Structure 1
Amino acid sequence: MKIIFLILSLALFLNAQMLQVGDSIIPIKLKSQHDKEYTLVKDGIWIITWDKATTRVANQYFDEHKIPNNLNLIVDTSQIPSGIFSLFVKPRMESYKHPILLSFDEKYNLTLPFKEDMLTLLYIKDSKVKRIIYIKDIDELEKTFK
């Protein structure tokens, strides 16, 4: 069973190419923690979190600052078992007023730039990736948006 999982994971990884500067963004529809649908494309900044720690940093920033409409928080939820997500993660996320966009699509998430223990900031202009930044903590995030 583990071998089959590893083969499938490797196949997904090899077929999914990570976005780079200059690449076009495919329009994607994501639902927030409050079940409101959002379509992401065109212009803006995507803050992408990958785990509990990076999501905590992003939520702290969104709670403490006035957030422009073109700044979107996306959380990779593809690795969270559905029972755990429904019972523990989503209720916690629902306590936040700002939209937290939930990305359950593992194949799509593999295309998003990633560095271990860091938030990813994607700057999108005219549906293309213009810049990619990796942030490790709240101080760096605040400096980025000053």
Structure 2
Amino acid sequence: MKKIILGLALVLTFIGCSSKSDENANVTPKLVVGESVKDIQLKDQFGKSHKIEDSTYKIIFAFSKDAAHTCNDFFNTQAPTYLQDHNTQFIADVSAAPSLIRSMFILPGLKDFKHTVLLLDDEEKAAPYRKGVNTEKIVVAYILNGKISEVKELDDSKEILQKTIEEQSPMSVIAPVVNEVMGKF
């Protein structure tokens, strides 16, 4: 009888702890057209606080380990100012990793990169950015006048990432200027 009660208690414990989908059910997604990015303030891999720069036209999000590795491996082969030169900022979600793993392995590894990595390091803070997008893909949010104008999901490919960042559309030239001018008001 004791074994049955103990087994039942364990099953109920695991059932109560296993569903993460319910805890974020009431979260409002933030990576949607029209959503403001002016309130985003994150720390980088060195603990320095950053806001989304006025001139930013693209924000690259990596929610999965594979997407983050693709982005970091590519950015690490570029000039230290590559992202800034292309009016782009990079945000990596490390919130799913246990804090011990994050502090002992992930953060020290990120400090080796010459590019800035903004970090979503809290699950509650990351949840609205994760909701409604395929977190296994690289997600790109296009910014116009401080608001998201488009969201794209990219395959996990350095070539597609490079092409997306370096595209020379009229908007890629106009938007950073508009964003910077409008950001002053």
TM-score by length of 1: 0.86
Q: Any conservation in 1 of the 2:42–2:118 contact (CA below 8 Å)?
A: yes
Q: Any conservation in 2 of the 1:27–1:41 contact (CA below 8 Å)?
A: no
* Residue 10 (1) aligns with residue 58 (2): no
What corresponds to 1:30 in structure 2?
42
Q: Any conservation in 1 of the 2:64–2:135 contact (CA below 8 Å)?
A: no
Find the aligned partners of 1:6 and 1:26 in 2 and give their Cα distance: 34
Find the aligned partners of 2:38 and 2:98 in 1 and give their Cα distance: 26
What corresponds to 1:129 in structure 2?
148
The percentage of aligned residue pairs carrying the same residue is 26
Q: Structure 2: any 5+ residue segments left out of the alignment? A: 1-12, 168-185
Find the aligned partners of 2:77 and 2:98 in 1 and give their Cα distance: 30
What corresponds to 1:90 in structure 2?
107
> What amino acid is the match of 1:106?
E
| 3-state SS of 2:24 partner | helix
- The higher radius of gyration belongs to 2
TM-score by length of 2: 0.69
* Residue 55 (1) aligns with residue 68 (2): yes
What corresponds to 1:81 in structure 2?
98
What is the deviation of 1:42?
5.2
Change in 2 beyond 3 A, CA 1:16/1:26: farther
Change in 2 beyond 3 A, CA 1:41/1:105: farther
Change in 2 beyond 3 A, CA 1:3/1:26: farther
In terms of fraction of residues, the more helix-rich structure is: 2
Find the aligned partners of 1:49 and 1:42 in 2 and give their Cα distance: 21
What is the deviation of 1:34?
1.1
Find the aligned partners of 1:41 and 1:109 in 2 and give their Cα distance: 20
Runs of 4+ that moved beyond 3 A: none
* Residue 114 (1) aligns with residue 130 (2): no
Of 92-101 and 32-41, the range deviating more from structure 2: 32-41
Find the aligned partners of 1:20 and 1:48 in 2 and give their Cα distance: 13
What corresponds to 1:105 in structure 2?
122
Pick from 79, 83, 89: which aligns with 1:67? 83
Change in 2 beyond 3 A, CA 1:100/1:79: same
| CA displacement, residues 65-118 of structure 1 (integer Å, 9 cap, x when unaligned) | 322263111111110001111111111111001111111232332222521421
Find the aligned partners of 1:57 and 1:5 in 2 and give their Cα distance: 32
Of 70-79 and 113-122, the range deviating more from structure 2: 113-122
| 3-state SS of 2:128 partner | coil
